[in-house]
Amino acid sequence: MLTKGAIEDLITEHLSRKSGTGEVPAARKVHELRKRTFLSDWEIRRLYKAGSRSLKVPADAIISPLSMDWLDFNGVEIIRE
């Protein structure tokens, strides 16, 4: 069984072979992820006003598939602000 240290050593050794200089290549810069809101079924039902035909959510919100199905079934339109 490999330990965490042994795995790190194997990865470092493998990466150092690819660069040809024996040095570990610099990590590529990763774009900063922006914070997005996830809306679950429970949160959508809490935001929904009974009898309303539309629901306002943040423009960058991620809506769960179950919520999308529930909104579609009830004929509720999603308005992104």
Residues 75 and 37 reside in one and the same domain: yes
Show the domain range for 1: 1-28
53 shares its domain with 64: yes
Question: How many angstroms from the chain centroid is the CA of residue 2?
Answer: 30
- Owner of token pair 């330990």: 3
Do residues 12 and 43 share a domain? no
| Residue 27: per-residue pLDDT | 61
Tens digits of residue pLDDT in 9-60: 888 887 776 555 555 555 666 566 567 789 999 999 999 998 899 999 998 8
| Residues 5 and 23 occupy one common structural domain | yes
Q: Are residues 21 and 40 in the same domain?
A: no
Asked whether residue 38 falls in the same domain as residue 21, the answer is: no
Q: Model confidence at 4, in pLDDT bands (50, 70, 90)?
A: confident
